[in-house]
Amino acid sequence: MPGSSARGKLVVRAGESVDVDVKEAGVKGDVLPSGEWPENFSLLNYEDLSKYYEGVLFKAEAQPDTHLADVMSKTITTAFPEQLLEEIDHHFAVISGLPVIDSDHRCIGVLSKKDRRKVQDLKAKVKDVMTSPAITLSANKIVSDAAILMLKNKIHRIPIVNDSNQVVGIVTRTDIFNAMEGGKDK
């Protein structure tokens, strides 16, 4: 019956549930943040869905509006495109990826453990294995921006760059999850 609503439970995590109002899709006046009506469900995007359910999905102490400058690692290891993999391979014992920079310290790519595993020859150059162009963000963006970008692009780290595209930090999924969970800033 159009316009009817019911109470229900939405399971958020194993063993946790929250009360929600269940409304029939298409009820007039029920508008998503993008301005789309729910009857246009095929036009729904991730941003709309996350905004619509933000209050249900995040803990009260979550910090999705924290600036990346407050959660990024500022001590970073980088690689140059002409380096051989054997020169940097030891870093992967400690980190899962690193930005690749040019001589002006501009971010031109990212080299991950996954990229590294694609080749057997440690004499290969970083530029032949890295993912390029790099997906980057500025330090004034917020944690939820990084989370959305990571999910959309299926990446685990994002180099943080200044206005000249020079690397000033890096955020990983762990940094983002900690902020989303309300964990301590770095």
What number is the average pLDDT over the span 21-39?
Answer: 49
Q: What is the pLDDT of residues 51-62, one digit of tens each?
A: 665 655 555 555
What number is the average pLDDT over the span 89-112?
Answer: 93
**Predicted local confidence at residue 4, as pLDDT:** 46
- Asked whether the beta carbons of 111 and 78 are under 8 A apart, the reply is no
d(CA 31, CA 37): 5
Which pLDDT band holds residue 22 (cuts at 50, 70, 90)?
Answer: very low
Number of helices (H), then strands (E), belonging to the chain: the values are: 7, 7
Q: What is the pLDDT of residues 134-153, one digit of tens each?
A: 999 999 998 888 988 988 88
**Predicted local confidence at residue 57, as pLDDT:** 53
Decide yes or no: CATH 3.10.580.10 for domain 68-180.
Answer: yes
Q: Reduced to 3 states, what is the DSSP secondary structure of residue 60?
A: coil
Residue 100, beta-bridge partner list: 79, 109
Residues of the chain within CATH 3.10.580.10 domain(s) are: 68-180
Provide the token pair at 130: 């890295």
Ranges 9-18, 116-125, 129-138: which has the least confidence? 9-18
Q: Which residues of 18-28 are buried (b: 16+ CB within 10 A; e: fewer)?
A: eeeeeeeeeee
Provide the token pair at 82: 């002409």
Kindly report whether the global pTM for this prediction surpasses the value 0.85. Answer: no
